[in-house]
Amino acid sequence: MSIPVAEKKEKVSVPFDYNKYLRPNKLPHIWCPGCGHGIVLKAMLRAIDKAGLEKDNIALVSGIGCSSRTPGYVDFNTLHTLHGRALPFATGIKLAKPEMKVIVVTGDGDALAIGGNHFIHACRRNIDLTVLVFTNATYGMTGGQYSPTTPLEAMATTSRYGNIEPPFDTCEMAKASGATFVARGTAYHTIELEKTIHEALTHKGMSVVDIIDACPTYFGRANKFKSATQMMEEIEKDGTVNVKQAANLPPEKLAGKMLRGVLHKVEKPEYCEKYDILIKEKASAKK
């Protein structure tokens, strides 16, 4: 028997074939030049590929808004639903077909304002959904109104003298509501985001990933950002710290920065499994 010799691998860069998952005739997408949603979509497709999920076994559900246009461009089972109601539709799909991987793409306004109640109750149930919240801190589709994640004092078309409402922390809210996987990523840290989404996809239970990306057209213009690049560097790169690095940093260096990475991960009984057990128990008791 010959001993297998490890082949010396040469580093060959082969770009990822996005066309495998896209509906190419739908491109170019509607998002503005420099919008972070496209970067997040690409990271999501790479994460799905890495997780080895089959196209026909994925349902991508969205509500209304810029981010919710995502299902139009990808070749999965897709559903574009009512404003804020992506999670109820997704819950229905998951209960009817528990073997299906249901992914919800939603914006910050869609998930936290219009669909705020659905969000906390989906988290509370711990149903096996992967929720990607595209946080661009604005309502881009309707003209740049401030949203539940717009930072204090930030300008928007509906806060001409600066926002006086404190923003939501999506991750803290999901964690407090009972989600078993809570993470944050940014469009700037693409590879890290891909890994985070992959981890969320493989987690059993409600997984929420808050993804910070830039809206150069409305948020950027109202807040005097010169370009999408500047927004990515100042908001996403300088405004966040990886949770592992944060453990070794003094508190004054963490002031005003958001934590990135997997923030909360626990194992708890999943809703569909519990439901299945209950149905089987009751059915056997009747016989």
Residue numbers at the binding site for other proteins (CB under 8 A): 12-16, 18, 22, 27-29, 31-39, 42, 187-188, 190-191, 216, 227-229, 232
Write out the chain in H/E/C secondary structure: CCCCCCCCCCCCCCCCCHHHCECHHHCCCCCCCCCCHHHHHHHHHHHHHHHCCCHHHEEEEECCCCHHHHHHHECCEEEECCCCCHHHHHHHHHHHCCCCEEEEEEEHHHHHHHCHHHHHHHHHHCCCEEEEEEECCCECCCCCECCCCCCCCCCECCECCCCCCCCCCHHHHHHHHCCCEEEEEECCCHHHHHHHHHHHHHCCCCEEEEEECCCHHHHHHHCCCCCHHHHHHHHHHCCEEEHHHHCCCCHHHHCCCEEEEEEEECCCCCHHHHHHHHHHHHHHHHC
Closer by beta carbon to other proteins, 57 or else 227: 227
Q: Which residues contact 146 (CB under 8 A, 6 or more apart)?
A: 137, 138, 139, 154, 156, 158, 159, 163, 165
Closer by beta carbon to other proteins, 194 or else 199: 194
Closer by beta carbon to other proteins, 78 or else 186: 186
| Closest CB 237 distance from other proteins, rounded Å | 11
φ, ψ (nearest 5 deg) of residue 179? -65, 145
| Closest CB 227 distance from other proteins, rounded Å | 7
| Closest CB 70 distance from other proteins, rounded Å | 12
| Closest CB 225 distance from other proteins, rounded Å | 13
| Closest CB 190 distance from other proteins, rounded Å | 4
Closer by beta carbon to other proteins, 142 or else 229: 229
Buried b (16+ CB within 10 A) or exposed e, 138-171: bbbbeebbbbbbbbeebbbeebeeebeeebbebb
Closer by beta carbon to other proteins, 35 or else 141: 35
| Closest CB 247 distance from other proteins, rounded Å | 27
| Closest CB 117 distance from other proteins, rounded Å | 31
Closer by beta carbon to other proteins, 115 or else 144: 144
Closer by beta carbon to other proteins, 155 or else 187: 187
Closer by beta carbon to other proteins, 22 or else 93: 22
| Closest CB 96 distance from other proteins, rounded Å | 33
